Amino acid sequence: MYNVLLQRQIKKYLGGGEVIPDEYRPLLNAINESYNHYEADRNLIERSMDLSSLELIDVNRKLRQEADRHRIVLGKLRQALQVLRLDAGEVDGPDDDENFDDSDLIEVAELLRKQIDRRHEAEGKLLESEARFRLLAENSTDIIGRYSPEGICLYLSPSCRSLLGYEPEEMIGGRFAFGIHPADIDHVARISDMVGGATDVTTSCFRFLKKDGDYIWLETTMHAIRDSESGEMIEVHMASRDITARKRDEDELQLLSLVASKTDNAVLITNRLGQIEWVNESFIRFSGYTLEEAVGYRPSELLHGPLTSPETLNEINVALWNARPITSEILYYHKDGHTYWLSATITPILDATGQVERFVAIQSDITEQKQIAMELQYRTSRLTALVENLQAGVLVEDESERIVIMNQTFCDMFEIRQSPQDLVGKESEGLAEGAKRLFADPEGFVRRVNEVMAGRTLCIDEELVLTDGRIFERDYIPIFVGDIYRGHLWHCRDVTERKQAQAAINALNSELKETNHLLRIERDKEKEHVRVLEELNQMKSEFVSSVSHELRTPLASIIGFTQTILIDPDLPGEMQREFLQIVFDEAKRLAKLINDMLDLSRIESGSAIVEKSPTDVIPLVERGIQSVVMQAEARGISVTSVVDRPSLIANIDPDRTLQVIINLLSNAVKFTPDGGWVQIRVRVEGSEVILEVQDTGMGIPEGDLPNLFQKFFRVHRPGTAIRGTGLGLAITKHIVELQAGTITVQSTENVGSTFTVRFPQQ
C-alpha cells in the first residue's frame, strides 16, 4: 500500500484503473519509502518540538538513522531516476502532462531537498534543544535524572548536591531507592511499577534521606521513555522537586483545618466582600445558623442586633478596610434571638499581590466572662463608692507596688497633692518619703513602712504620731490569692479625737474607780455602822435584861433582908447586923449602877464637864489602889504600883482621872483569878503621861478586842458569874478622850491584859 500522497500522484499520472507496470515498482517503492520517511520525520519533528529534551536525544538518534536510510533511498532514487531516464523513450506512459517526467522528478527532487532541509533544521533544533536541556538540567533547582528501566541511575543533575548533599557521581550507577524513607518505600515502589506499565507518567511524594542524615520531601515525576519503533521502555526520566516546605505547610494546613473544624472557637471565613464562605461546627453551635444558611451572608446581616455596639463595628470595619487584624468583643444575636458575647479576632488574608483575598474570624464565647466582668464592674463601682466615702484613708497596691485603689481621704491625710484618679495605675514609690515630714519620727515612719511591706504579715492598729500632735492608726493587710502574694492594703484613720476621748474616759474611769472605792468604803462603813447598831441593839437588850437583873437582884436582897429584920423582932442582934450589911452592900451596887448609867448618858449627851488643872498623878494612883485593895486582898491578889518619881504633874481633871484608874484597876482585879497580881505603872514619854494597868487575868478573846470599848459590850464568858453592865470601859474611853488622851489594850487569853492610857502632859 502506497502513501496517500503517492497514491494521489499515481492516480493523477498513471490513471486509476491502470495496472502499474512492474518496472515502475522499484521507483514507486523508493518514492513511497521517501514519502513515509518524510511523514515520519515530520511527525518526529513535530513531536520533538513537544518532547522533553531527553526525548529529543532519542529523536535525534532516530533522525540520524533515518538520514542514513534516506541517503540509501536517495541513492536508489538516483538509480531509479537513471533507469527512468534511460527507459523514458520506451515507456508507453501517459500524455506529457501526466507522464512521470523530469519535472515530476524535479518536483520529487525538490520535495526531497526540502525534506532534507527540514531534517537539517530539525537536527539543528534538536541540538539546540539538547543544549537547552543540558542548560536546564544543569541549572535546574530540581533534580533531573535518567534511569535505566532496571532503576540504575544514568545521569543526575548537579542540584542533587544542594538538595541531597550527594555528588552526582556518588549516585550515578546506583539505585535511587536506597534513600527513600522506609515508611514511603511501598508507596513509591507501587507507583514506580506503574511506570512503563499502566501509565508512562507518574508522580509521587516521598521522604528521601539526605547525606547529612535529615529527610527531605521530594515530589518526583517519572516519565517512561520508549523506543519509537518497538515501543519498548528504554529509559525512565525523573524530575524531583524539594517540597519539604510545601509539605510542612500542607501538614500545618491540614492540622489547622482540623483545628478550625474541631476547635471550641467559632471560625468563619468570608470572601473579600465579607460574605461567609465557610463556618465551623462551633459557629453553628454559637449562632444557630447552619453552614448552608450562613454562606453568602455578611456576619452583620445574621448576627448583629440593636444592642450590638455600632462603635465596635465601626472600629472593626476601619481595621479591616485597612487590612489590619483586629480583636474585639461583640454582642451577637443567636438565630433564636438570644444574645451572647464573643471575642472575635478577624484577620485579613492577603493574596500574592497583597490584596485582601478573604477574612478569617476566630470567635470565642465570652458571655460568662462578660457577665462576671459586668458583675465585677458593678461590684467595683460599689466598692469604689464605698472606699471614696470612707472616713479612713485607703490605699491598695498590687504586688509590684502599683496603686490599685486610693481614696481622697488617704491623699488628704498624707498631704498628697495629686488626686487618686491621677495616681491609680502608677507606682507608689516615693509616697512614704514624701509624707514622712508629717511625722514626729520621719525616718522611723519610712523604715517601718519598708519593714512591714518586706514582712508581708498583718499589722493592725499601729500608732503614728504626727508633728502637729495628731495621731493616726494604721493597718497593713497583705493580700494573698491562694499562696500567691497579690498586693496589700493600707488602712489609716485619724484617731486623735478618739484618743483624746479615750484619755478623758480613762481619767473619768480612774476617778470613777476612786469614787467607787470611796463608795465601797462608805458602804462598808455603813455596813459596819449597821452591824454596830445591830450589836448595840443586841447589847441594849442584853443590857436591859442584865440591868433589870442587876437592879432586881440587889433590890430583892434589900427587900428580903429588911423584911426579915422588920418581921422578926427576936432576930439576934448579930444576925441583924449581918443582914443590914448585906442590905447596905446591895444598895451601894445599885447606886453604882445608877451612877454609871447617869454618867454615861451625861457624857454622851455632851453635858459632862471636864475640868483640867495641873494635878499630881501619883496620889491619884495611890487612891485608886486603895479603892480596890480590900477586894483584891480578899481574893489573894496583890495590887502594886511602879512609879519612877515622887510626883508627876499633868494638866488633867483629877476626879475623872481617878475614875479611870479605879475602873481599870477594879476590872483587873475582877477578871484576875484568885492569887494573881495586878500592877499599875506610871511614866512620862516625851510629852505624854502614860498609865499602864496590867493583870494576870483571864484575858480577852482577840475577836472581842475591837468592841471592848463599846457601851454595854461584855465578853461572853460562859460558866462565870462575874457581874457587870458593860459600861465601865465605855465611860473610861469617853473620859480619856475628853482629856485628849487615848486608851489601848493588849491581851492574851488566860495570860492577862494590859490597858494603856496616854494623856498629854500639858
User: Which positions lie near ligand ADP, rule CB under 6 A?
Assistant: 667-668, 671, 695, 697-698, 700, 708, 714-715, 724-730, 753
Q: Which is nearer to ligand ADP, 282 or 663 (CB)?
A: 663
Q: Coil, strand, or helix at residue 287?
A: helix
- Cα–Cα distance, 231 to 422 (Å, whole number): 90
H or E stretch at 582:
helix 573-605
- Cα–Cα distance, 364 to 366 (Å, whole number): 6
Q: Note every long-range contact of 530-537, with CB atoms under 8 Å and residues 24 or more positions apart, other chains counting.
A: 532/710, 535/707, 535/710, 535/713, 536/710, 536/711, 536/712
Q: Which is nearer to ligand ADP, 153 or 700 (CB)?
A: 700
Q: Coil, strand, or helix at residue 74?
A: helix
Within its chain, how far is the Cα of 665 from the centroid?
93
- The least CB distance from residue 666 to ligand ADP, in Å, is 8
- Cα–Cα distance, 163 to 172 (Å, whole number): 16
- Cα–Cα distance, 166 to 436 (Å, whole number): 78
- The least CB distance from residue 573 to ligand ADP, in Å, is 35
Q: What contacts 297, CB < 8 A, 6 or more positions away? A: 275, 276
- The least CB distance from residue 698 to ligand ADP, in Å, is 6
C-alpha radius of gyration, the chain, whole number: 75
- Cα–Cα distance, 14 to 94 (Å, whole number): 6
- The least CB distance from residue 625 to ligand ADP, in Å, is 15
- Cα–Cα distance, 332 to 322 (Å, whole number): 24
- Cα–Cα distance, 602 to 727 (Å, whole number): 13
- The least CB distance from residue 748 to ligand ADP, in Å, is 11
Q: Which is nearer to ligand ADP, 432 or 603 (CB)?
A: 603
Smallest CA-to-CA distance from 112 within 137, 75, 148 is with 75
* Residue least distant from ligand ADP (Cβ): 724
- Cα–Cα distance, 592 to 88 (Å, whole number): 220
- The least CB distance from residue 603 to ligand ADP, in Å, is 13
Query: What value, to the nearest 5°, has the Cα angle with vertex 112 and ends 111 and 118?
Result: 90
Q: Which is nearer to ligand ADP, 217 or 671 (CB)?
A: 671
Amino acid at 570: D
- Cα–Cα distance, 166 to 156 (Å, whole number): 10
- The least CB distance from residue 515 to ligand ADP, in Å, is 39
- The least CB distance from residue 734 to ligand ADP, in Å, is 11
Contact between 395 and 406 under an 8 Å Cβ cutoff? The reply is yes
What phi and psi, each to the nearest 5 degrees, are found at residue 269? Answer: -120, 130
Paired residues of 216 in beta bridges:
208
Q: Which residue has 423582932 as its cell numbers?
A: 569
Q: Which is nearer to ligand ADP, 409 or 725 (CB)?
A: 725
- The least CB distance from residue 679 to ligand ADP, in Å, is 12
- The least CB distance from residue 704 to ligand ADP, in Å, is 8
CB-based burial, 155-190: b 16+ in 10 Å, e otherwise = bbbebbbebbebebeebbeeebeebbeeebeeebee
Q: Which is nearer to ligand ADP, 398 or 737 (CB)?
A: 737
The 10 Å Cβ neighbour count of residue 566 is 9
Pairing of strands 471-481, 613-616: unpaired
Q: Which is nearer to ligand ADP, 3 or 667 (CB)?
A: 667
Contact between 66 and 41 under an 8 Å Cβ cutoff? The reply is yes
- The least CB distance from residue 598 to ligand ADP, in Å, is 15
- The least CB distance from residue 713 to ligand ADP, in Å, is 6
DSSP labels, 427-460: B-TTHHHHHGGGBSSHHHHHHHHHHHHHHT--EE
- Quick one: cell of 391? 472616713
Q: Which is nearer to ligand ADP, 359 or 712 (CB)?
A: 712
Q: Which is nearer to ligand ADP, 628 or 730 (CB)?
A: 730
Smallest CA-to-CA distance from 728 within 611, 626, 628, 615 is with 628
- The least CB distance from residue 617 to ligand ADP, in Å, is 20
Q: Which is nearer to ligand ADP, 398 or 542 (CB)?
A: 542
- Quick one: cell of 565? 429584920
- Cα–Cα distance, 389 to 688 (Å, whole number): 79
Sheet-wide strand order for 459-465: 403-406, 393-398, 484-494, 471-481, 459-465
- The least CB distance from residue 644 to ligand ADP, in Å, is 23
Q: Which residue has 531507592 as its cell numbers?
A: 177
Contact between 428 and 402 under an 8 Å Cβ cutoff? The reply is yes
- The least CB distance from residue 715 to ligand ADP, in Å, is 3
Amino acid at 122: A
Q: Which is nearer to ligand ADP, 496 or 707 (CB)?
A: 707
Q: Which is nearer to ligand ADP, 199 or 545 (CB)?
A: 545
- Quick one: cell of 368? 460568662
- The least CB distance from residue 502 to ligand ADP, in Å, is 57
Q: Which is nearer to ligand ADP, 431 or 600 (CB)?
A: 600
Q: Which is nearer to ligand ADP, 646 or 703 (CB)?
A: 703
- The least CB distance from residue 505 to ligand ADP, in Å, is 53
Could you report how far apart the first and last alpha carbons of the chain are, in Å? 192
Q: Which is nearer to ligand ADP, 224 or 715 (CB)?
A: 715
- Quick one: cell of 59? 529523536
Q: Which is nearer to ligand ADP, 280 or 694 (CB)?
A: 694
Sheet-wide strand order for 742-748: 638-643, 677-685, 688-695, 752-760, 742-748
Q: Which is nearer to ligand ADP, 691 or 727 (CB)?
A: 727
- Quick one: cell of 84? 527512468
- The least CB distance from residue 638 to ligand ADP, in Å, is 15
Q: Is 274 left (phi over 0), alpha (psi -120 to 50) or beta?
A: left
Q: Which is nearer to ligand ADP, 431 or 668 (CB)?
A: 668
